[in-house]
Amino acid sequence: MRALSVVIITRNEAARIRRCLESVVWADEVIVVDSGSTDGTEAVCRKFTSKVYRREFDTFDRQKNFGLELATGQWILSLDADEVISRPLREELLATLARDGDGHDGFVLRRENYLCGHPILHAWGRDALVRLVRRGRGRFHGAVHEKLEVDGRVGELKQPLLHFNSDSLQEYIAKNQAYIALEAQRRHQRGERFSIARALLSPLRVFLFRYVRLRGFRDGTMGLILCVLLAFFTFLIHARLWELTQPEAPR
């Protein structure tokens, strides 16, 4: 069996990190990279692993790459605190590692998403990300919505990774404030500037794509709420982009 390291980044995740950690107790190594939690997250994590590290947050890719560099296993599984390894996925992972990846250097994991306890099968579309990589063959890229890029062949596992995005709408909205700020900053740095037309039309396109084309309406009331929120978050990115171009207000 090839050794497996699990790397998890956290910040104020005391309410749900236990569920994630309990799902990977079988791993050879569990590493937690915390970015200044104040709610007891670190104490919960230390009940499962001694390898809890602190790092001030700057970007998601740097935070996760820091964890990759700490891992010692031949294979590394990157998780977020709101994700859980299902029993079928655990069995598939172990079987894949026993065969040393069947000639692959990374694997895509398909996520089964839940929001406020409701399954979201359509509005988010196909949600599949590279999360398992041979040590030394992958790096994360992207300050927000970071992606694990693999130097080598990439396969895909069949069993789902469970993703419990948020337990309440308040939590989901609050979580996305950080993504909105980071995305606006990223766009501003690459030269994009505020446009009234884009600010009005982009949210509409997002809603129609999610609700109509991806059939988010089949997710029921929660699907409607999610599609409206995703459109609104898009508008907020443009509003933040406008704010970044304004002179600092006088004190």
Distance CA 245, CA 193 (A): 8
| Helix boundaries (H) for 15-168 | 17-22, 41-46, 60-70, 87-98
What pLDDT is recorded for position 251? 45
Consecutive 10-residue averages of pLDDT for the chain (251 residues):
90 94 97 96 96 94 96 97 96 96 96 96 96 97 87 97 94 91 91 94 98 98 98 97 78 45
Sorted by where each starts, the structural domains of the chain and their CATH numbers stand as 4-165 (3.90.550.10), 169-244 (no CATH)
Q: Please give the pLDDT value at position 1.
A: 53
Predicted confidence at residue 178, as pLDDT, reads: 85
Distance separating alpha carbons of residues 18 and 46, to the nearest angstrom? 10
118/154 Cα distance (integer angstroms)? 31
What sign for the dihedral angle of Cα 209, 228, 220, 23?
A: positive
The answer, as to whether pTM is greater than 0.85, is: yes
**What integer pLDDT is reported at residue 62 of this predicted model?**
94
* Separation between Cα atoms, residue 10 and residue 35, nearest integer Å: 6
**The pLDDT of residue 142:** 85
Do the Cβ atoms of 186 and 206 come closer than 8 Å? no
SS3 96: helix
Unique residue bearing structure tokens 């980071």: 182
Task: Tell me if 133 sits within 8 A of 157, measured CB to CB.
Answer: no
**Number of residues that this document lists for the chain:** 251
- Paired residues of 147 in beta bridges: 141
- List pLDDT tens digits, range 174-197: 989 988 998 999 899 999 999 999
| Tokens, residue 132 | 């398992």
